[in-house]
């Protein structure tokens, strides 16, 4: 599985660019999208004006108001820096992708009606949807499209990061090609399916740069909550002015602003955007492109996973598990016959049969050209393959076809032969009959081999509360056998595109969120209907357009990790929100006594931290409020570690760690800062 090289959390180049971007983001029109930080910027400007007034008039408050103003601006800058770092990591990837593009030339077919007609050389940017281009060895594919003629080996490392070439051919589910990839051998004719500027690579660049990132429903709801808290505390702080006057206390605007900024949820407000961007960034590093943040968020709430059997739960091809000889035939003789009849079989099953015969029975291959052999290739009509040697005619294939070739009807053959065939069918395998010179020799047991670690992965999903459903075109008996061995919760046998779509709609009507993966055109309706549709990069254009994620490695099992990344995003957002709100509790014990201690000495009992003075308490709380944002940037970008331990246990753990921790950490942090402030006589 290819994965893009990880960039350190604070790569020097990214950090430098983020520091510059932090100042550019001070533009009020930009900050208005983040109400909490926007309010912080406005009050920072107000305190700065007061500082300048105090400085000009020689007021003794200038040092205090100047320090408060400076740390308020740092709070805004640190919040901007967090977002800029997250965006910068995406822009670094976008720059790397952009370097793969050049001013490509394309050989465009003059007359679309004749594929063998003349071609003209044009700039790739001039291509239109529907144009047909010729791509020869060494050429870059000029735009996204589908192969309409030919077969070629294509280097897709520019997109997937994987150096191994892939095969692309006309027809089937491997006809889609991506602009910017290179043809290594042979030649193909490609019909353009994307206009310049809207190719897959263009969309990837826009997505990782964050240019098209929209806030998700969860993020919008949290933004509304934070805005509401900001308004409430703004009203509270404004109301404190007349209350203080009535009580005989004098509160400066600087102190009230410090109180406001410490009480509003600046921590999560400053990190919220960075968390969302980092979620998509983690998917990109895992070689999965999400077409929207909504898809990443939905992955964290998935209840049901639809997984294709072949290539996901089982290895992509059926593999032989044993050779069963009929009575009177030595097993070694059967293995030799199977080997000879499979030497010219270039299918994955044929190659695996040869490998098993050589490894288990110590057989060696024969030079067919010198043996005077006649190859009998497999065809869809005969459903058999084989070889004719001097005095020997060997056949291997579907049971009914081989029985007919030896003059026996369906259901014929020796009793032990029939027993072996029935047993294999009942266990979900595929029996292949082997015959020599009109005589049955035995049966090859082909089976779908379940991946060794898949059962444990499904158990982990079950612990998350996620239901797993295997989708297969097999008959119910075979599907049940594989499902039992793999440990899935349910299966859908003889599944048609309509069946998949109906199943997804039924589950969604029950309030469940569905994720599925697919690569064929027949998967497109289900991918579009699913809440999380992961299309394979090797799949058809229709599948890639229908899904809301594209797996560049075309690994269907990655759907499990996608769900984990989605859950990690939601957990990170929830954990840091809990931590931010819990922070405020500690700040009450720092600032409230400082505000009214002169008027109400009894409030000294709340000064449990033993802070040096009212001014040092206020300044220490403001400094801590700024520094905690920068301290939490690595956690926001990396994400809170996720373990499949169930929702209730997860909630308890996070409340203990981030709720209780959010209360304890400020007590310690503010006290340490207060000691430094008082020692340096800053307040």
Binding residues for Mg(2+): 519, 523
**Active site (catalytic) residues:** 308
Contact criterion met (CB below 8 Å) for 261 and 622: yes
Burial of 415 (0-12, 13-18, 19+ CB in 10 A): exposed
Is residue 558 a contact partner of residue 516, using CB atoms and an 8 Å limit? no
C-beta separation of 297 from 458 below 8 A: no
Q: What is the dihedral of CA 149, 151, 154, 160, to 10 degrees?
A: 80
> Tokens standing for 276?
């969302």
Which H/E stretch holds residue 490? Answer: strand 490-492
d(C-alpha 75, C-alpha 70), whole Å: 9
Residue 293: C-alpha distances to residues 161, 210, 264, 272, 273 (Å): 23, 10, 26, 13, 11
> Tokens 């209780």 label which residue?
660
CA 39: distance to chain centroid? 34
Two tokens, residue 549? 């994620």
Torsion on CA atoms 288, 528, 516, 475, rounded to nearest 10: -140
Give the number of other CB atoms < 10 A from CB of residue 426.
Answer: 11
| Torsion over CA: 566, 572, 574, 577 (sign) | negative
First CA to last CA distance, the chain: 57
CA angle 596, 598, 600 (to 5 degrees): 60
Output phi, psi for 378, to 5 deg. Answer: -75, 140
Q: Give the integer Cα–Cα distance in Å for 625 and 669.
A: 10
Alpha-carbon distance 259 to 236, whole Å?
A: 10
Binding-site residues for ATP: 345, 349, 378-385, 396
Cβ partners under 8 Å of residue 93, min gap 6: 4, 208, 281, 284
Phi and psi at residue 384, in whole multiples of 5°? -140, 160
- H/E element holding 386? strand 384-389
Residues 6+ apart with CB under 8 A from 16: none
Could you give the CA distance from residue 331 to residue 445 in angstroms, rounded to a whole number? 14
**Within 13 A of 409's CA, how many CA atoms are on the CB side?**
0
* 11 backbone φψ class: left, alpha, beta (φ>0; ψ -120 to 50): beta
Please give the Cα distance from 294 to 380 (Å, whole number): 45
- Report which DSSP code applies to 164: S
Task: Report the candidate in 99, 98, 122, 101 with the shortest Cα–Cα distance to residue 110.
Answer: 122
Q: What per-residue string of b and e applies to 194-212 under the rule 16 or more CB within 10 Å gives b?
A: bebeebbbbbbbebbbbee
Spell out the long-range contacts of 470-474 with Cβ–Cβ below 8 A and sequence spacing 24 or more: 470/307, 470/308, 470/309, 470/313, 471/306, 471/307, 471/308, 471/309, 471/495, 471/500, 471/516, 472/308, 472/309, 472/310, 474/309, 474/428
What is the chain's length? Answer: 683
Q: Which helix (H) or strand (E) holds 206?
A: helix 200-209
């Amino acid at each position: 599985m290819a994965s893009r090289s990880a960039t350190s959390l604070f790569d020097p180049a990214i950090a430098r660019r983020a520091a510059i971007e932090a100042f550019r983001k001070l533009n009020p029109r930009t900050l208005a999208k983040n109400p909490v930080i926007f309010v912080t910027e406005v009050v920072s400007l107000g305190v700065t004006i007061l500082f300048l007034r105090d400085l000009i008039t020689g007021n003794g408050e200038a040092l205090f108001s100047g320090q408060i103003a400076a740390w308020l601006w740092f709070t805004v800058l640190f919040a901007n820096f967090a977002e800029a770092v997250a965006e910068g990591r995406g822009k670094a990837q976008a720059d790397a992708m952009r370097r793969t593009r050049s001013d490509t030339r394309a050989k465009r077919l003059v007359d679309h009606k004749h594929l063998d007609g003349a071609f003209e050389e044009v700039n790739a940017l001039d291509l239109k949807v529907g144009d047909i281009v010729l791509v020869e060895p060494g050429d870059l594919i000029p735009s996204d499209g589908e192969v309409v003629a030919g077969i070629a080996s294509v280097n897709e490392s520019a997109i997937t990061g994987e150096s191994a070439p892939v095969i692309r051919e006309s027809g089937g589910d491997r006809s889609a090609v991506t602009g910017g990839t290179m043809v290594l051998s042979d030649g193909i004719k490609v019909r353009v399916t994307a206009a310049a500027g809207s190719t897959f690579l263009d969309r990837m660049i826009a997505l990782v740069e964050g240019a098209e990132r929209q806030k998700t429903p969860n993020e919008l709801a949290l933004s509304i909550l934070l805005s509401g808290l900001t308004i409430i505390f703004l009203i509270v702080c404004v109301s404190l002015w007349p209350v203080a006057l009535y009580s005989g206390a004098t509160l400066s605007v600087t102190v009230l602003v410090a109180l406001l900024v410490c009480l509003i949820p600046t921590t999560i407000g400053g990190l919220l955007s960075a968390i969302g961007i980092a979620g998509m960034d983690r998917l990109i590093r895992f070689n999965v492109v999400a077409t929207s943040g909504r898809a990443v968020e939905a992955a964290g709430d998935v209840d049901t996973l639809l997984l294709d059997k072949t290539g996901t739960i089982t290895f992509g091809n059926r593999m032989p598990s044993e050779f069963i000889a009929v009575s009177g035939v030595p097993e070694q003789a059967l293995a030799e016959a199977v080997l000879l009849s499979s030497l010219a079989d270039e299918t994955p099953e044929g190659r695996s049969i040869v490998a098993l015969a050589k490894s288990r029975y110590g057989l060696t291959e024969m030079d067919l050209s010198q043996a005077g052999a006649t190859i009998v290739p497999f065809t869809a009509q005969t459903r058999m393959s084989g070889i004719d040697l001097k005095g020997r005619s060997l056949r291997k294939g579907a049971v009914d076809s081989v029985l007919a070739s030896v003059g026996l009807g369906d259901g014929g053959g020796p009793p032990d032969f029939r027993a072996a065939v029935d047993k294999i069918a009942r266990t979900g395998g595929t029996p292949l009959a082997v015959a020599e010179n009109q005589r049955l020799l035995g049966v090859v047991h082909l089976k779908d081999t379940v991946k060794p670690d898949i059962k444990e992965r499904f158990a982990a999903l079950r612990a998350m509360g996620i239901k797993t459903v295997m989708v297969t075109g097999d008959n119910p008996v075979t599907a049940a056998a594989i499902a039992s061995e793999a440990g899935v919760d349910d299966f859908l046998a003889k599944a048609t595109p309509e069946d998949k779509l109906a199943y997804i709609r039924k589950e969604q009507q029950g309030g469940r969120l569905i994720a599925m993966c697919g690569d064929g055109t027949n998967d497109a309706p289900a991918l579009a209907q699913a809440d999380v549709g992961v299309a394979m990069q090797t799949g058809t254009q229709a599948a890639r357009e229908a899904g809301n994620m594209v797996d560049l490695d075309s690994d269907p099992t990655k759907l499990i990790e996608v769900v984990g990344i989605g859950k990690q995003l939601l957990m990170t957002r929830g954990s840091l929100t809990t931590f931010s709100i819990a922070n405020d509790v500690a700040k009450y014990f720092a600032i409230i006594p400082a505000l009214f201690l002169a008027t109400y000495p009894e409030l000294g009992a709340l000064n449990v931290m033993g802070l040096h003075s009212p001014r040092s308490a206020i300044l220490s709380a403001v400094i801590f409020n700024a520094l905690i944002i920068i301290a939490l940037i690595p956690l926001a970008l990396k994400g809170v570690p996720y373990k499949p331990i169930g929702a209730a246990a997860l909630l308890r753990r996070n409340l203990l760690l981030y709720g209780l921790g959010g209360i304890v950490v400020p007590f310690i942090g503010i006290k340490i800062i207060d000691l430094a402030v008082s020692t340096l006589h800053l307040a």
